[in-house]
Amino acid sequence: MGRPLPAALLIAALLAAAAAWASSAAAPPRLSSEGPVWRLRAGGLLYRFHATFRVETLFDEARDPYETDDLSRARPGDLERLRAVFLRRLHLPGLDQVPVRGREWREMLEGNGYFR
């Protein structure tokens, strides 16, 4: 058997591991938009909603960084959960309320504090 680790080294390693876990576990879902495409990142998944075409997709960010394998049919529970988070973040009751583009879009974002 080897020698035990010095207490300071053990404590530093445990604190680093706890900080890494806490930052990944406590990270709030990130919401972004580019044109009519909204993206919500949470728990390693990416929920994407195309407002013009009204299409939802779901991707595993680690396994599919180029967003080529839509998991929405294979993981309907995750799709539903992230859709609910997305709608809560936008303060909207349903996907049909997400503005397609233009003035309505900007007014909604301004009302939710995105432009100040």
Domain annotation covers residue 86: yes
Intervals of the chain under pLDDT 50 = none
Annotate 48-76 with DSSP letters as a single string. Answer: EEETTTTEEEEEETTT-TT--S--TTT-H
Q: Which pLDDT score is estimated for 34?
A: 86
CATH number at residue 90: 3.30.1120.10
Angle, CA 93 vertex, CA 95 and CA 75 arms, to 5°:
55
Q: What is the pTM of this model?
A: 0.66
47: containing domain: 29-111
Domain annotation covers residue 89: yes
